[in-house]
Homo-oligomer: A and B are copies of this chain.
Amino acid sequence: MNKTSIKAVYPGSFDPITRGHVDLIERAARIFDELVVLVAASSQKQALFSTEERLRLIKESLLHIKNVKIESYAGLTTDFMKRDKIQVLVRGLRQVEDFEYERSMAQYNSTLFPAAETIMLYSNPGLAFISSRGVKEVAKHSPTADELAKFVPLPVVNALLEKMKGT
């Protein structure tokens, strides 16, 4: 058997990347030959970190993973997949609430690009409660670096503390 190598894309906002994201990327990268972490370069959403900052924080947090590429894209994920000939889209399931949102996203995507196949991975149970939004909420209330390090990789700890100084 000699299939071409299997590429997958893991799209998200990553505002910022959390320890939950990192765990999921490590696991997806073990399954597929190549994994593209795709940052939604949306200017509309009020993000804490700019697209460039998010890309840099992801890069610094994933130095230990070889078969990962990090990119940003402003259009539909399915357009990116068509362009780069990627057919597998990976997403994490943190909680039941994600189930239906992700299912409808999967259906938008397979409607727009019938060859696209969405694959779900359950979050590690010890990390499933961590979300970018939750981390930003904690960050507002002057946590210590040690406290933040329980939720996000080290490069993000520093970026969050820096960001919060100004507020």
Inter-subunit contact B31/A119 (CB<8 Å): yes
Taking the closest CB of chain B, its distance from the CB of A90, in whole angstroms, is 9
Is A46 among interface residues, defined by CB-CB distance under 8 A? no
Interface size class of A (residues with CB under 8 A): 35 or more
Inter-subunit contact B141/A129 (CB<8 Å): no
Stoichiometry, as copies per complex, reads 6
Inter-subunit contact B104/A129 (CB<8 Å): yes
Inter-subunit contact A122/B106 (CB<8 Å): yes
Contacting residues, chain B, for A60 (C-beta < 8 A): none
Is A147 among interface residues, defined by CB-CB distance under 8 A? yes
Is A166 among interface residues, defined by CB-CB distance under 8 A? no
Contacting residues, chain B, for A101 (C-beta < 8 A): 97
Taken residue by residue from 48 to 79, chain A's Cβ proximity to chain B (1 for < 8 Å, 0 otherwise) reads as 00000000000000000001000000111001
Taken residue by residue from 106 to 120, chain A's Cβ proximity to chain B (1 for < 8 Å, 0 otherwise) reads as 111001100001111
Taking the closest CB of chain B, its distance from the CB of A27, in whole angstroms, is 6
Task: Determine, out of A1-9, A10-18, A155-163, the stretch whose residues face the partner at the interface.
Answer: A1-9
Q: Given contacts A93-B120, A138-B108, are A1 and B67 in contact (CB under 8 A)? A: yes
Inter-subunit contact A95/B104 (CB<8 Å): yes
Contacting residues, chain B, for A102 (C-beta < 8 A): 122
Provide 26 A-B residue pairs closer than 8 Å at the C-beta atoms, listed in order of the A residue: A1-B33, A2-B5, A3-B5, A6-B31, A6-B32, A27-B117, A30-B117, A31-B117, A31-B119, A44-B140, A76-B143, A96-B96, A97-B100, A97-B101, A102-B122, A103-B122, A103-B129, A104-B128, A106-B122, A108-B129, A108-B134, A108-B138, A112-B150, A118-B122, A119-B120, A125-B126
